[in-house]
Amino acid sequence: MRLLGVFLVALTCISGGLGDGLKCTLKPADIPTSWIDMVDPCIKIMESQVKTEIEAAMTYLAMGAHFARDTINRPGFSKFFIESASEEREHAMKIIEYLLMRGQLTNDVSKLLKFPLKPIREEWNSGVEALADALNLEAQVTRSIREIITTCENPKSQPFNDYHLVDYLTSDFLDEQYKGQRDLAGKVSTLGKMMQTHGPLGEFLFDKKLLNGEV
């Protein structure tokens, strides 16, 4: 055992001295590239959408944190917005996974995250104001997805219609976006009416319904 300990210490010293000399490097595999057919304008706008989704997630996190403050104490709103942040983060992950499936992001995935990450704002005066901001945010995300579809359906620089991506975004993303926008619009309407009838108590009651999943 003592001899083994000496050997391990010696090996550690040698490793430290050699540094990068002991690193294992593998020659890149010679993989045909004929299957990689996404055009550059489509790739770039898809990568940009990752930023859009992450910034939306950051905004929802800011909303969730705001309503979780002891001075605000709206757990229903906080829960709703934290869950919304998770959905936006999942969207960013799905876009990254799609690009990887199509043979992209093989060199440096970290470049997607090299940009300032910040929410659109950090404080809201009321629950209805936050819900209205969320609706505007979702509408912005929807427009950016539709722009991707337009770009990838008919790139100006190259005659290539990416049918698969267009179908994927239409069925998986746009459908969820439109349903989410309608849900938020309904929440803004319901909360607005409750506050007209009950004043600040309306927001308190609406928060309880949000917490219990009743609205």
Q: Which residues are part of a known binding site for Fe cation?
A: 53, 88, 91, 138, 177
Helices 127-153 & 40-68 angle (0-180, nearest 10): 170
The type of residue at 120 is: I
Report the distance separating Cα 157 and Cα 154, nearest Å. 9
Contact yes or no for 78/64 (Cβ under 8 A): yes
Residue 181 phi/psi, 5° resolution?
Answer: -65, -40
Task: Give the number of other CB atoms < 10 A from CB of residue 102.
Answer: 18
First to last CA, the chain: 67
Dist CA 95 CA 67 (whole Å): 29
Residue set of the binding site: 53, 88, 91, 138, 177
> CB neighbours (10 Å) of residue 34?
6
- Counted residue by residue, the chain has a size of 215
Alpha-carbon span 105 to 87, nearest angstrom: 22
Query: For 21, which DSSP code?
Result: G
